[in-house]
A and B are shown apart, each in its own frame.
Chain A
Amino acid sequence: GAVVSQHPSWVICKSGTSVKIECRSLDFQATTMFWYRQFPKQSLMLMATSNEGSKATYEQGVEKDKFLINHASLTLSTLTVTSAHPEDSSFYICSARSTGGFTGELFFGEGSRLTVL
């Protein structure tokens, strides 16, 4: 199946700093990628839909200035948590679909665990 890679897997940062998480589709082109956030023992919450070459579409309640998403190419989307605070600590997962519409599978990255001290 298609491969989506996320980096870094783990990141610890100080409060007030910014952190960038990369999501790459390794063997296919992804015009759309999705960013999810998952708190411990909870479900995945869709944060935003990342569209190649255009602005991301954010879900209600997600601060677009806090969580900057850039989808500069068909294989790379980045999520930047700006001025991170301890409450931003979470598991962030990206996903992508290799074709438009339903294909039967959403390919996920390995996830990035962010801890803000």
Chain B
Amino acid sequence: AQKITQTQPGMFVQEKEAVTLDCTYDTSDPSYGLFWYKQPSSGEMIFLIYQGSYDQQNATEGRYSLNFQKARKSANLVISASQLGDSAMYFCAIEAGGFKTIFGAGTRLFVKA
């Protein structure tokens, strides 16, 4: 079975600063994918970034980067130059074996002006 752990219920960051959202995972499958999604108050799920278990380099997408440490089973999301519009819930997710995607509890990010 897969498991995702997000230990930060809420995080505050000053506008224009960088912030790291933590995510650890557990799976027995050697092949898996890790995802980060953003959910604003409207409820839609917005895909941010993806990291495959065999990818050698950390994934980056614009201001988002994923700090993938396979040995530690961690996949932290780094948001650089935070913007007010980044305030939202952020979910880390894993897909492995059976192609089901399991989500963590989420971290609510508050960006302060």
User: Contact size class for A?
Assistant: 20 to 34
Rounded to whole angstroms, the CA-CA distance of A108 and B35 in the bound complex is: 13
Asked if residues A106 and B47 are in contact (CB atoms below 8 Å), the reply is yes
Bound together, the chains give a CA A54 to CA B23 distance in angstroms of 35
B104–A43 CB distance below 8 A: yes
Which B-chain residue is minimally distant from A9 (CB atoms)?
B43
CB of B45 within 8 A of CB of A95, answer: yes
CB distance from B6 to the nearest CB of A (A): 8
Q: Are B106 and A43 in contact (CB under 8 A)?
A: yes
B49 to chain A, nearest CB (A): 9
B33 touches A104 (CB 8 A): yes
The contact of A108 among B44, B100, B104, by CB within 8 Å, is B44
B105 on the interface (CB 8 Å rule)?
yes
A110 at the interface (CB under 8 A from B): yes
**CB proximity of B28 to chain A, nearest CB, Å:** 17
Contacts of A106 in B (CB 8 A): 35, 47, 93, 95, 101
Contacts of B35 in A (CB 8 A): 105-106
Is A32 a contact partner of B99 (Cβ separation < 8 A)?
yes
A97 at the interface (CB under 8 A from B): yes
The 9 A-B residue pairs with the shortest CB-CB distance in the complex, in nearest-first order: A104-B50, A108-B45, A102-B33, A44-B103, A111-B43, A105-B47, A43-B105, A43-B103, A43-B106
6 contacts between A and B (CB under 8 A): A34-B100, A44-B45, A105-B35, A110-B43, A111-B43, A111-B44
User: B residues engaging A (CB < 8 A)?
Assistant: 33, 35, 37, 43-45, 47, 50, 52, 91, 93, 95, 98-106
